[in-house]
Structure 1
Amino acid sequence: MPEARDRYLTLDLALRVGEILLSSGAGAADVTATMLSLTHHLGLRNCDVDVTFTSLRVSYQSDPDEPALLQVRQVRHRDIDYDDLTRVDALVNALLADAIDRDEARARIARIVSTGHALPRWASTLAVGVSGAAIGVLLGGDLPMLAIAFLAAMGIDVLKWRMSRRRLPDFYQQVAGGLLATLVAAVTTAAFPSVFPQPSLVITASVIMLLAGVSFMGAIQDALTGFYITGSARILEALLATAGIIAGVSGGLTVARMLGLDMGFVQPGAAGGFEYVPFMMFGGGLAAAAFALSCYAPWRSLLPIGFIAATAVGVYQTVLIQEIGRTWAASAAALLVGLVAYAASGRFRVPPLVIVVPAILPMLPGLSIYRGLSLIGAEQGDSAEGIVAMVTAASIAIALASGVILGEYAAQPLRREARRLERRLSGPRLVGPLRARAPRPARIQDAEAPPPNT
Structure 2
Amino acid sequence: MSERREAYEALDLALRIGEVLLSSGAGAADVSATMLEVTRACGVRNVSADVTFVDLTLRHQPSRDEPAAIQVRRVNRRPVDYANLVEVDQAVTELVAGRITRDEARDRVARIVSTGHSRPRWAVTLGWGVMGAGIALTLGGGPVICVLAFIAACGIDATQRLLPPHRIPTFYQQAAGGFVATMIAVLASATSIEADPSRVVTSGIVMLLAGVGILGATQDALTGFPVTASARVIDAFLNTMGIIAGVGAGLTVGDLLGVGLVDLEVGAAGIAEAGVIVVGAALAASGFAFASYAPWRALVAVALVGGLGQAVLLSVNSTAVGRTWGSAVAAVVIGAVCHLAAGRFRVPPLVVVVPAIVPLLPGLEVYRGLALLAQGHDGVLELASALATALALAAGVILGQYVARPIKREADRLERRLSGPRMVGRG
TM-score by length of 2: 0.96
- 1:153-168 alignment to 2 at 5 Å? 153-168=153-168
SS in 1 for 2:321: coil
How far is the alpha carbon of 1:276 from its aligned partner? Answer: 1.6
Unaligned runs of 5+ in 1: 428-454
SS in 2 for 1:360: helix
Give the structure 2 partner of residue 397 of structure 1: 390
State whether residues 274 and 318 of structure 1, in contact with CA within 8 Å, keep that contact through their aligned partners in structure 2: no
State whether residues 262 and 368 of structure 2, in contact with CA within 8 Å, keep that contact through their aligned partners in structure 1: no
2:118 is matched by which residue type in structure 1? A
**In the alignment, structure 1 residue 313 sits paired with structure 2 residue 310:** yes
State whether residues 198 and 264 of structure 1, in contact with CA within 8 Å, keep that contact through their aligned partners in structure 2: no
- 1:191-210 alignment to 2 at 5 Å? 192-193=191-192, 195-210=193-208
1:254 is matched by which residue type in structure 2? T
Instruction: Determine the C-alpha separation between the residues in 2 that align with 1:204 and 1:172.
Output: 19
Give the structure 2 partner of residue 438 of structure 1: none
- 1:178-327 alignment to 2 at 5 Å? 178-190=178-190, 192-193=191-192, 195-269=193-267, 271-327=268-324
1:137 is matched by which residue type in structure 2? L
How far is the alpha carbon of 1:78 from its aligned partner? Answer: 2.7
How far is the alpha carbon of 1:168 from its aligned partner? Answer: 1.3
- 1:82-101 alignment to 2 at 5 Å? 82-101=82-101
CA offsets per residue over residues 28-78 of structure 1, 9 Å max, x none?
000000011111222211201110000001010112222211110001223
TM-score by length of 1: 0.91
RMSD: 1.2
1:242 is matched by which residue type in structure 2? T
Instruction: Determine the C-alpha separation between the residues in 2 that align with 1:332 and 1:5.
Output: 50
SS in 2 for 1:58: strand
Give the structure 1 partner of residue 35 of structure 2: 35
Instruction: Determine the C-alpha separation between the residues in 1 that align with 2:166 and 2:419.
Output: 57
1:187 is matched by which residue type in structure 2? L
CA offsets per residue over residues 158-178 of structure 1, 9 Å max, x none?
101111122211111100011
2:368 is matched by which residue type in structure 1? R
State whether residues 338 and 405 of structure 1, in contact with CA within 8 Å, keep that contact through their aligned partners in structure 2: yes
Instruction: Determine the C-alpha separation between the residues in 2 that align with 1:159 and 1:40.
Output: 44
How far is the alpha carbon of 1:424 from its aligned partner? Answer: 4.0
Instruction: Determine the C-alpha separation between the residues in 1 that align with 2:296 and 2:419.
Output: 31
Percent identical residues: 51
SS in 2 for 1:234: helix
- 1:409-424 alignment to 2 at 5 Å? 409-424=402-417
Instruction: Determine the C-alpha separation between the residues in 2 that align with 1:87 and 1:165.
Output: 27
Give the structure 1 partner of residue 102 of structure 2: 102
Instruction: Determine the C-alpha separation between the residues in 1 that align with 2:62 and 2:68.
Output: 7
SS in 1 for 2:76: coil
Instruction: Determine the C-alpha separation between the residues in 2 that align with 1:236 and 1:396.
Output: 18
2:382 is matched by which residue type in structure 1? A
Q: Which has the larger radius of gyration?
A: 1
SS in 2 for 1:249: helix
CA offsets per residue over residues 187-244 of structure 1, 9 Å max, x none?
1211x23x14311111001101111111111000000001000001001111111111
Give the structure 1 partner of residue 372 of structure 2: 375
Give the structure 2 partner of residue 448 of structure 1: none
Unaligned runs of 5+ in 2: 421-427
Instruction: Determine the C-alpha separation between the residues in 2 that align with 1:370 and 1:77.
Output: 28
2:203 is matched by which residue type in structure 1? A
1:235 is matched by which residue type in structure 2? V
**In the alignment, structure 1 residue 74 sits paired with structure 2 residue 67:** no
Instruction: Determine the C-alpha separation between the residues in 2 that align with 1:393 and 1:184.
Output: 23
SS in 1 for 2:78: coil
How far is the alpha carbon of 1:274 from its aligned partner? Answer: 3.9
Greater shift in the superposed pair: 415-424 or 316-325: 415-424
SS in 1 for 2:196: coil
Counting matched residue pairs gives 420
SS in 1 for 2:163: helix
